[in-house]
């Protein structure tokens, strides 16, 4: 079942943007989702939500540099004030699934090439069908990570991995991947790769 982001989405304007302002009022459910999305949007270009959509922080650089002012947001439930939330002012924008696909297109094509070379049959359906991602696991992502250095320099590999990871996050929002599976995938991306011994490398060249 897709995770319900209605509390957060209700805060966005018709143009798909949300500007945090001093004194605005939000529900407790919206507060939890807002903090989650902001945390994700700080560490990566896009924060995954339901329906294959994402949220991006328009003023990311200013927010990260802490050059934006702080605002106090009122958290209430049924007109009863529960407390206040202090956050840096930021501007968030909804990103459609179509735009997500376009933005990750180049990096994702690399993952498709890997799957094709490995003769994994579902590679053609992954880009637009999140349900197919239930077939993706940490072992496959680890294998992809080990494959990337054959074709790409170190500074390009992380972009390729993060694109696959983001699709996994989108699939998790639809319950096609469990949180445990997602954690294992994240570990496969970030754990140190084993070093090849010089003897092994010489044997391979020979």
Residues 159, 92 share a domain: no
Q: What is the model's pLDDT at position 203?
A: 39
Answer for the pair 96, 48: CB distance below 8 angstroms, yes or no. Answer: no
Distance from C-alpha of 91 to C-alpha of 58, rounded to nearest angstrom:
5
pLDDT in tens, 11-55: 999 999 999 999 999 999 999 999 999 999 998 889 999 999 999
Q: Answer yes or no: is 112 within a domain.
A: yes
pLDDT in tens, 101-154: 999 999 999 999 999 999 888 767 888 899 999 999 999 999 999 999 999 988
Residues 90, 47 share a domain: yes
How many domains in the chain? 2
pLDDT in tens, 168-184: 999 999 999 999 999 99
Distance from C-alpha of 100 to C-alpha of 46, rounded to nearest angstrom:
9
Q: Answer yes or no: is 52 within a domain.
A: yes
What pTM value is reported for the model? 0.86
Residues 69, 53 share a domain: yes
Region 61-72: what's the mean pLDDT? 91
Helix (H, G, I), strand (E, B) or coil at 25: strand
Distance from C-alpha of 150 to C-alpha of 39, rounded to nearest angstrom:
33
Domain final position from 96, 130, 145: 96
Nearest to 101 by CA among 132, 126, 137: 126
Residues 144, 115 share a domain: yes
Q: Match 């072992």 to its residue by tokens.
A: 139
Expressed as residue numbers, the domain containing 151 is 104-190
Residues 158, 90 share a domain: no
Residues 120, 74 share a domain: no
Mean of the per-residue pLDDT values of the chain = 90
Helix (H, G, I), strand (E, B) or coil at 200: helix
Nearest to 87 by CA among 73, 75, 97: 73
Residues 129, 51 share a domain: no
Strand residues in 65-192 grouped as ranges (E) = 70-77, 80-88, 91-95
DSSP-derived secondary structure for 48-100: E-GGG-EEEETTHHHHHTT-SPEEEEEEEETTEEEEEEEEE--EEEEE-HHHH
Nearest to 88 by CA among 33, 142, 34, 156: 34
């Amino acid at each position: 079942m897709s995770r319900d982001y209605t509390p957060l989405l209700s805060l966005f304007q018709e143009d798909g943007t949300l500007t945090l302002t001093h004194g605005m009022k939000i529900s407790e459910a919206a507060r939890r989702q807002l903090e989650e999305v902001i945390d994700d949007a700080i560490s990566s270009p896009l924060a995954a939500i339901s329906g294959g959509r994402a949220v991006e922080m328009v003023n990311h650089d200013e927010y990260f540099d802490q050059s934006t002012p702080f605002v106090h947001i009122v958290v209430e439930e049924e007109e009863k004030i529960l407390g206040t939330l202090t956050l840096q002012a930021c501007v968030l924008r909804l990103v459609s699934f179509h735009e997500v696909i376009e933005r990750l297109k180049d990096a994702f094509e690399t993952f498709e090439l890997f799957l094709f070379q490995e003769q994994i049959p579902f590679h053609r359906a992954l880009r637009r069908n999140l349900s197919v991602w239930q077939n993706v696991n940490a072992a496959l992502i680890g294998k992809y990570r080990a494959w990337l250095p054959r074709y790409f320099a170190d500074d390009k590999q992380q972009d390729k991995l993060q694109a696959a990871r983001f699709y996994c996050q989108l699939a998790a929002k639809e319950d096609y991947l469990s949180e445990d599976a997602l954690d294992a995938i994240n570990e496969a991306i970030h754990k140190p790769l084993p070093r090849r011994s010089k003897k092994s490398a010489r044997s391979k060249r020979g």
